[in-house]
């Protein structure tokens, strides 16, 4: 990459290639500079430090997830949309395990902005169940927790038993959809 073409977006592109080809641990400013063909100090014109680069990366990754999930739910509603949303999110994590592992989950400014896109897609999907305001937020948190948890565990190879993971995930989707149809005021859990 020529020095004149270096920009914040180009630095993120290089960092994504490092993630895809190696691992989140391999992501350093020195590695990015080496891959870009510049000295490390040249990167400081485009990113302040590794933390800012991770924030920029997380925003890009979160936007990619939002794009994939948004496309998956388009034209669908209720149960079909929830299944498509959950599948698209998992598929992204499996297709890009190192990107997914590098995602910063703290609300850094750029990541939070990208996360708002994703949460708005989730909240719009939940409207089909009559959920709004705090009920929708609680449901969105639960949905994120189950999808992220399964995807993170699966991409790390943490499921060692022989049963098919697709069948487990189909069951998880069924459990989530069943939960979304259950009245919230059914009383306390046993």
1 pLDDT above the threshold of 50: no
Q: What is the DSSP letter of 129?
A: G
Domains and CATH numbers, the chain: 1-47 (1.10.10.60), 55-181 (1.10.357.10)
Q: Can you tell me the mean pLDDT for 122-133?
A: 94
pLDDT of residue 190: 58
**pLDDT(92) > 80:** yes
Q: What is the mean pLDDT of the chain?
A: 91
Residue 187: per-residue pLDDT: 52
Q: pLDDT confidence of 7, banded at 50, 70, 90? A: very high
Q: What's the Cα-to-Cα distance from 176 to each of 79, 132, 143, rounded to whole Å?
A: 9, 17, 7
pLDDT for position 184: 67
Say yes or no to pLDDT of 39 above 70.
yes
Contact 60, 12 (CB under 8 A): yes
**pLDDT at position 107 over 60:** yes
Quick one: pLDDT at residue 136? 94
Average pLDDT over every residue of 61-75: 96
Task: Please tell me which residue, 66 or 189, carries the higher pLDDT value.
Answer: 66
State how far the Cα of 150 lies from the Cα of 143, in Å rounded to an integer. 11
Angle CA(53)–CA(107)–CA(75) in degrees, nearest 5? 100
Q: 33 near 40, Cβ under 8 Å?
A: yes
What six digits make up the tokens of 55? Answer: 């924030």
Question: Does the pLDDT at position 2 exceed 50?
Answer: no
Angstrom distance (rounded) from CA 189 to CA 177: 18
* pLDDT of 189: 53
Question: What is residue 169's three-state secondary structure?
Answer: helix
Q: How confident is the model at residue 159 (pLDDT cuts 50, 70, 90)?
A: very high
């Amino acid at each position: 990459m020529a020095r004149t073409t270096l920009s914040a977006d180009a630095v993120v592109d290089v960092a994504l290639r490092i993630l895809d080809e190696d691992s989140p641990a391999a992501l350093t400013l020195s590695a990015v500079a080496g891959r870009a063909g510049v000295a490390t100090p040249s990167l400081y014109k485009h990113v302040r430090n590794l933390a800012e680069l991770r924030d920029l990366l997380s925003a890009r990754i979160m936007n990619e997830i939002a794009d994939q999930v948004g496309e998956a739910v388009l034209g669908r509603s209720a149960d079909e949309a929830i299944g498509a949303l959950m599948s698209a999110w998992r598929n992204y994590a499996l297709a890009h395990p190192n990107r997914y592992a590098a995602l910063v989950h703290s609300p850094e400014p750029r990541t939070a902005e990208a996360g708002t896109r994703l949460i708005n897609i989730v909240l719009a999907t939940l409207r089909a169940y009559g959920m709004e305001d705090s009920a929708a937020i609680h449901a969105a948190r639960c949905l994120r927790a189950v999808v992220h948890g399964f995807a993170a565990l699966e991409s790390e190879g943490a499921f060692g038993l022989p049963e098919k993971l697709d069948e487990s995930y189909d069951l998880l989707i069924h459990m989530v959809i069943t939960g979304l149809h259950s009245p919230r005021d059914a009383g306390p859990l046993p």
